[in-house]
Amino acid sequence: MDRKTATRADLVDAVYVTCLPVSRADTRKVFETIFDEVSKAFVGGDQVKLRGFGVFSVREKSERMGRNPRTGLEAAIAPRRVLTFKPSPALIALMNGGKPPAS
């Protein structure tokens, strides 16, 4: 199975092809604006919900003790924020070759 990574440029091109009256430069500006707004939401700790796709949320992880797998020595893992994603039932169904549930 030959897998490909979808890049930002691929997404911009896909939208550009389906919205031909819009220029490629304008399509890129719209994408950059969307990514900037989503990034700001994450920095602010907000959720980003995309209906039919899923929910991105920021989770706070507290400090904890971990272990270096190579040496076995304990080390403190600093508190941090992580991004989580929960796919929608429609996306899960689509990935598994089924039809998305009716809304």
Helix, strand or coil, per DSSP, at residue 61:
strand
For residue 46, pLDDT beyond 80: yes
What pLDDT, on a 0 to 100 scale, did the predictor assign at position 103? 60
| Contact by Cβ (8 Å): 20, 8 | no
pLDDT of residue 20: 81
56-99 confidence digits (pLDDT tens): 999 999 999 999 999 999 999 999 999 999 999 999 999 998 87
Q: What is the pLDDT of residue 27?
A: 93
Ranking 5-14, 45-54, 94-103 by mean pLDDT, the lowest is 94-103
Domains and CATH numbers, the chain: 1-44 (no CATH), 46-103 (4.10.520.10)
Nearest CA to 59 among 82, 87, 86? 82
